[in-house]
Amino acid sequence: MKETGKNRGLRRRFFPVSNRSCLLPGSVPDEGDKHLKNGLPEKLRLLIFDEEAVRMSDQSESEEKSEVQSCEFAKSTRRTFLSRLGMAGLLASARPVASAVEESSGKEQVLSPESKDAIPVTLRVNGEKYDLRIDPRTTLLDCLREHLHLTGSKKGCDHGQCGACTVHINGRRVNSCLCLAAMHEDEEITTVEGIGQPGNLHAVQAAFLAHDAYQCGYCTSGQIMSAVALLKEPCGSEDAEVKEFMSGNICRCGAYPNIVAAIQSVRQNPKPKAG
Ligand code: FES
Ligand code: FES
């Protein structure tokens, strides 16, 4: 118990000076107490004179024990770590051998697009038809980037939260990281590569350039694809409504004011000279 001004006053009022250190834990023993202290075992003396000190003594003993235990634990952890490290090295060097053994036994180890689980998929992307064999679990984003090498669509979060992967399917914007490629056969898929080319930019692409609506550019293809889709959506004329409609596209560089200005410039002047 912590001694405060209030309980110090109570103590002085109700307990004589000679035994108050017996009754109030943590207090300094009085002169009369010293006689009692002599000849008593340490623990008993502490018990009589200072319960708090006993508690602290027990606590320090248990702390010492736990310190010893933690030292032992640290030693065993270091030992365990070193032995695991050695084991990992062994496993790493043994892996090619194990693989060779398994390969020689004729087991199929890797699921590739050519494996028996791959399925034929036909996609129409930017007006071109592609016949592919892909793992049925392949997302549209991975299919575009890894199989068709259309790397304009970016992978930001891979969880449908940033909009960097935005493409159009039949004219509607979607997060391609959330779509399975195999589910979009016979649909018209458009990526940022399909809406404009250098020398023949889409009006939105030209407006982004003119308004400096990007910094690192990582989000920009997704922003442009959303902005192009927004032109056909029932979006009000105010900046606030544009911001709301573009809220699925995150820009970590914070180029939002310029992005909104670029989109508004296209909406107010639908056919600017494209660069
Ligand atoms: Fe698709 Fe972020 S990568 S939403
Ligand atoms: Fe860098 Fe948007 S320009 S994230």
Per residue of the chain (275 residues), give pLDDT as tens: 454 555 554 444 433 333 333 333 344 444 444 444 454 455 544 444 444 444 554 555 555 555 545 444 444 454 454 445 444 433 333 343 333 334 444 433 334 556 678 999 999 999 999 999 999 999 999 999 999 999 999 999 999 999 999 999 999 999 999 999 999 999 999 999 999 999 999 999 999 999 999 999 999 999 999 999 999 999 999 999 999 999 999 999 999 999 999 999 999 987 655 44
118: region left, alpha or beta (phi > 0 left; psi from -120 to 50 alpha): beta
- Tell me which fold the domain 196-268 belongs to: DNA polymerase; domain 1 (1.10.150)
The Cα angle at residue 275 between residues 156 and 193, in degrees rounded to 5 = 35
User: Can you give the pTM of this predicted structure?
Assistant: 0.61
Ligand 2 atom with the smallest distance to the CA of 253 is 1
Q: Classify 166 as helix, strand or coil.
A: strand
Task: State if residue 223 touches ligand 1 by the CB under 6 angstroms criterion.
Answer: no
Ligand closest to CA 156:
1
Residues β-bridged to residue 120: 133
Kindly report, as residue ranges, where domains of CATH 3.10.20.30 are found in the chain. 119-193
Kindly report, as residue ranges, where domains of CATH 1.10.150.120 are found in the chain. 196-268
Ligand 1 center to 122 CA (angstroms): 23
Ligand 1 center to 60 CA (angstroms): 54
Which homologous superfamily is 119-193 in? Beta-grasp domain (3.10.20.30)
Contact between residue 265 and residue 210 where contact means Cβ atoms under 8 Å apart: yes
* CA dist., res. 15 & res. 89, Å (int): 71
Residue to mutate (ligand 1; options 162, 218, 221, 223; most atoms within 8 A of CB): 162
> Which residues surround ligand 2 with Cβ inside 6 Å?
214-220, 251-253, 255
